[in-house]
Structure 1
Amino acid sequence: MSKSTDQFPSLSTLLRQALGEALAPDADTLLEMCAEDVVFEFPYHPPGFTERLEGRAALETYLPTVSKLISIESMTLKHAFISGEGDTAAIEFSCKGHSPDTGARYDQDYISIIELKNGRISRYRDYWNPLVVLSALESAPSAVKH
């Protein structure tokens, strides 16, 4: 496998910290951590945002779009729970960042459910607050109308 550029090195580091030996030892970047047929799901996506990605190629195309919207400053692992079989994990983490376009803060909490097969992520369900994304991109409607 050729080494790919890591769009989100802080996420890769966090996943390695959370999943440890459950991940294949040669998987350094997020893409390398994923199976070819990986499925990413975003159950709380706002309207018009991506709901589901199928396959590593789709993820590779998607990641640069996200990195243009949000600049990640740090990610902090809070909890990691791995099943006894080592094939499913639940992780809780936080992210600090901002929108390069607006300068608005992007400080988000996540819960991710991760399924693994042969040391690679086969399914990743990402739960986060869509209002935080919309606020950072200045797309959120104002709660107060004048």
Structure 2
Amino acid sequence: MTTTTPIASTEAAPVASTAATRPADLFRQGLQLLLDKDISGWVDLWDDRGVLEFPFAPEGWPKRLEGKAAVSDYMRHYPDHIDLHDFPDVKIHETGDSGTIVVEMRGVGLLVETGAPFDMIYIAVVAVADGLITHYRDYWNPLAVSRGSAADFTRSDR
């Protein structure tokens, strides 16, 4: 089953996650928290041992973050670099595993440092257990963001 839903910053945030939260609902809640620039709230959706992976990360950038604290550290300055305005194209594909979804999405906004448009297409494979994200594999293209701007916050040598 595939659902398509735009997530705009004017929408009300969904209710807090519970063990019964479907992965698709939890993911949508996470997108809204990112739009609200509530990074702490987004990190709260993670299991303490959650893993965030970036298979296409270039050399010198993190490829794997292990644990909620590492995810929090990585994301803490996100709104200082990328001002997300909308997720106009979100397609969530349910898999044969009830705890795993595959997401196609597009995030748009501005690069804070330069005011340049930010428009990124993502594919994510997300696993959820007991209402929390346990594994998130993010197939974004870091080469689409110039090295001297918003992308600096994602480098491992920051």
Normalised to the residue count of structure 1, the TM-score between the two structures is 0.70
When the two chains are superposed, the root-mean-square deviation of aligned CA atoms in Å is 3.2
CA distance in 1: counterparts of 2:88 and 2:46, whole angstroms: 21
Summarize the alignment of residues 43-122 of structure 1 with structure 2, pairs less than 5 Å apart.
43-122=55-134
Question: 1:103-140, CA deviations, whole angstroms, 9 ceiling, x for partnerless residues?
Answer: 2221000000001111211000001122212278288x
Instruction: Work out which of the two has the higher radius of gyration on C-alpha atoms and give 1 or 2.
Output: 1
**Unaligned stretches of 5+ in structure 1?**
1-8, 140-146
Shift of 1:21: 7.0
| Corresponding residue SS for 1:113 | strand
| Corresponding residue SS for 1:30 | helix
Q: Which has the higher contact order (CA 8 A, sep 6+)?
A: 2
Normalised to the residue count of structure 2, the TM-score between the two structures is 0.65
Question: 1:2-44, CA deviations, whole angstroms, 9 ceiling, x for partnerless residues?
Answer: xxxxxxx96xx69x89712799xxxx73222211100000111
CA distance in 2: counterparts of 1:88 and 1:58, whole angstroms: 22
Shift of 1:81: 1.1
Residue 24 of structure 2 corresponds to residue 19 of structure 1: yes
**Unaligned stretches of 5+ in structure 2?**
1-7, 15-20, 34-40, 152-158
Residue of structure 1 equivalent to 2:137: 125
Contact 1:115 1:122 (C-alpha < 8 Å) held by counterparts: yes
| Corresponding residue SS for 1:92 | strand
